[in-house]
Amino acid sequence: MIRVNENYLKLKASYLFSDIAKRVSEFEKKNPDKEIIRLGIGDVTLPLPPACIVAFHKAVDDMASEKTFRGYGPEQGYDFLREKIAEFDYRSRGTTISADEIFVSDGAKCDTGNIQELFADEIVIAVPDPVYPVYVDTNVMAGRTGENRDDRYQGLVYLDSTESNGFVPDLPGEKVDLIYLCFPNNPTGAIATKEDLAKWVRYARDNRALILYDAAYESFIRDDSIPRTIYEIDGADEVALEFRSFSKTAGFTGTRCAFTVVPKKCRVYTEKGEEVPLHQLWLRRQTTKFNGVSYPVQRAAEAVYSDEGRKQVRELGDYYLENAANIRNGMSTIGFSCSGGVNSPYIWINGGRDSWAFFDMLLEKACVVCTPGSGFGKCGQGYVRISAFNSHENVERALDRIAKAIK
Ligand code: MLT
pLDDT confidence tier of residue 208, bands split at 50, 70 and 90: very high
User: C-alpha 252: how far from its chain's center?
Assistant: 13
Q: Cα-flanking dihedrals φ and ψ of residue 149, to 5°?
A: -125, 130
The domain locations on the chain are 6-47+308-406, 53-306
H runs (alpha helix) in 146-277: 194-207, 247-250
282 contacts 119 by C-beta, under 8 angstroms: no
341 torsion bin: left (phi>0), alpha (psi -120 to 50), beta (else):
left
Radius of gyration of the chain (CA): 21
Counting ligand 1 atoms within 8 A of each CB, the residue from 16, 41, 109 with the most, and so the one to mutate, is 41
pLDDT of residue 245: 98
Q: Is 261 exposed, middle or buried (0-12, 13-18, 19+ CB in 10 A)?
A: buried
Mean pLDDT of the chain: 97
131 contacts 377 by C-beta, under 8 angstroms: yes
Is the pTM higher than 0.75? Answer: yes
Report which protein residue has its CA nearest ligand 1's atom 5. 42
Counting ligand 1 atoms within 8 A of each CB, the residue from 110, 186, 385 with the most, and so the one to mutate, is 186
Whether 188 lines ligand 1, by a CB cut-off of 6 Å, is: no
Counting ligand 1 atoms within 8 A of each CB, the residue from 16, 17, 384 with the most, and so the one to mutate, is 17
Whether 84 lines ligand 1, by a CB cut-off of 6 Å, is: no
Q: How many residues does the chain have?
A: 407
Q: How far is the CA of 230 from the centre of ligand 1 (A)?
A: 21
Q: How far is the CA of 61 from the centre of ligand 1 (A)?
A: 32
pLDDT of residue 308: 98
386 contacts 347 by C-beta, under 8 angstroms: yes
Q: Following CA atoms 358, 379, 178, 222 in sequence, which dihedral angle do they give, to the nearest 10 degrees?
A: 60
pLDDT confidence tier of residue 12, bands split at 50, 70 and 90: confident
Q: Following CA atoms 358, 324, 185, 337 in sequence, which dihedral angle do they give, to the nearest 10 degrees?
A: -50
325 contacts 380 by C-beta, under 8 angstroms: no
Closest by CA to 77, choosing from 240, 301, 243, is 301
CATH entry 3.30.70.520 includes domain 53-306: no
Q: Which of 120-143 are b and which e, b meaning 16 or more Cβ less than 10 Å from the residue's Cβ? A: eeeebbbbbbbbbbbbbbbbbbee
Whether 95 lines ligand 1, by a CB cut-off of 6 Å, is: no
Report which protein residue has its CA nearest ligand 1's atom 9. 109
pLDDT digits (tens, 9 = 90+) for 329-359: 999 999 999 999 999 999 999 999 999 999 9
H runs (alpha helix) in 65-211: 79-85, 108-114, 133-141, 194-207
CATH class belonging to 6-47+308-406: alpha beta
pLDDT of residue 193: 98
Strand, helix or coil for residue 373 = helix
Residue 13, pLDDT above cutoff 80: no
Residue 390, pLDDT above cutoff 90: yes
pLDDT digits (tens, 9 = 90+) for 259-297: 999 999 999 999 999 999 999 999 999 999 999 999 999
Q: How far is the CA of 108 from the centre of ligand 1 (A)?
A: 10
Q: How far is the CA of 253 from the centre of ligand 1 (A)?
A: 9
Counting ligand 1 atoms within 8 A of each CB, the residue from 18, 43, 386 with the most, and so the one to mutate, is 43
Whether 21 lines ligand 1, by a CB cut-off of 6 Å, is: no
